A and B are shown apart, each in its own frame.
Chain A
Amino acid sequence: MSQITLNTLSTEMDEISAAYTAAGGDAAVLHKHELASLVVSGNKVLNANGTEGIVLEKHETEYGVDIKMTIKKGYKIPLPVHLCFGLVPKDGLQEIKMDFIAEEDSAVELIAHCTFPNAVNIIHKMDAQMLIGKNASLRYTETHFHGSHGGIRVIPKAHIKIEEGGSYYTNFSLISGRVGYLEFDYSVDAEKDSICEMVTKVYGKKNDKIKILEKISLNGENARSVIKSRLAITDDAESEFRGITEGHAPRARGHVDCMEVIQGNAKAEAIPIVRVDNPLAKVTHEASIGCVDKKELETLMARGLEEDEAIDIIVKGMLA
């Protein structure tokens, strides 16, 4: 069954399309009939376009939208599904509830842009439940843009369950403009033969505050995971990273990798936590916090770059 709904309010659609572009998205994809897409501005669904194999249900609430997206059993969605969540005004509250199900043997890529280009006093909350069915695959890229004021609190929370043989790749990126306050909290339960890769990349400036909590429980035999975090903070920004991986089953393999670059008066804390209660499981971790690598910096300066330019290139590479 495919459910297709179009609900376009032209002025708001134009504004959110511009904001989507500011976040790095290509607004044209939101208007292509052959691509599945969902555009939510505040608590209004401006555009919802499903394609075969995708069931998209949405319900507008007082401050946001409840969404249920199901990828039907056996469907491999050939083109990415584009999602846009945002608020164009300077202030407001947006609450998104997402119930996502990738049924057995399905595959999909979601590309989400969350854009708040004028944020001065905004709260954006997301609460997601995601189920990756047996041998199903979800690739999820989420790019945020919060404008230049730093007046935003973004609180995304998700629980993901990956069933046997399923795979989940996620890449959360917030590297342009200010962060404001970010409290990122994702937890994953990974069953037998599943794969999970979680990547977060955030660039904090001025008095931005970044809290990242990622937890993966490798519950099933041969489940594998990587948590990779790349943070750069400068000025008076602060960051706190906790990456937890638990190995509960034979041949479960996990790795936590956190690298943070700090400059100015920034403060960073990184705590990789590994817990293993099965002797055949193995979880490793690495974490580094410091200034830009001296040899990298001097190499670029020896090619003629000023120190600031060299730092910028190194940090942008790390966050690319």
Chain B
Amino acid sequence: MMRRSLLTAAFVMLAGALAPAIPAAAAADPTAVISNLGSRALEVLGKNAPQSQRVARFRELLREDFDVPEISRFVLGRYWNVATEEQRAEFLKLFEEYIALAYSTRLAEYTGETFKVTGSRPDADGAVVSSQILRPAGAAPVKVDWRLIGRNGAYKISDVSVDGISMAVTQRSEFASVIQHNGGQVQGLITMLREKTGGSASR
């Protein structure tokens, strides 16, 4: 009896390992995460939504589907080590707010167009899901790639690239430049982020 249940358990575990995308959990399938996000984003960020709501809703999507701590660490690059605990914590908060503010309007330009997932491939830490935003009349579709990190069977987005341009790399390059122009001080970046988000956060 004992032996049998052990065998069953082993079989279940094996099946789980071989087929990680069994329907039970949609979050375990990176493709589903993206198509799901795509449809929610289009309805949530529609052109008619007021700006304040759009930012708030975008922040929700960001928290649910993006690995914000991982992205924050990446965009600070080597300065993450230099930063104090307090600076890291504040940066994390400000960065999330900044992204919500910056990208909620940027993405709104794409509403009304068709979003479709075109494929996925495994990646070092998870998967890369490819998608396209189809545009009207003959214009070439915008290619959007999503890099996802898989942890404990759940996938979260760590980078988005648009026509080959990585948002995380761009952000990291910009932040490094800002820090460099502030004498290598992370505090300089934090101050600028405060100003950028403080002025328009309530908008």
Decide whether A and B assemble into one complex. no
Using a CB–CB distance below 8 Å, which chain A residues touch chain B? none
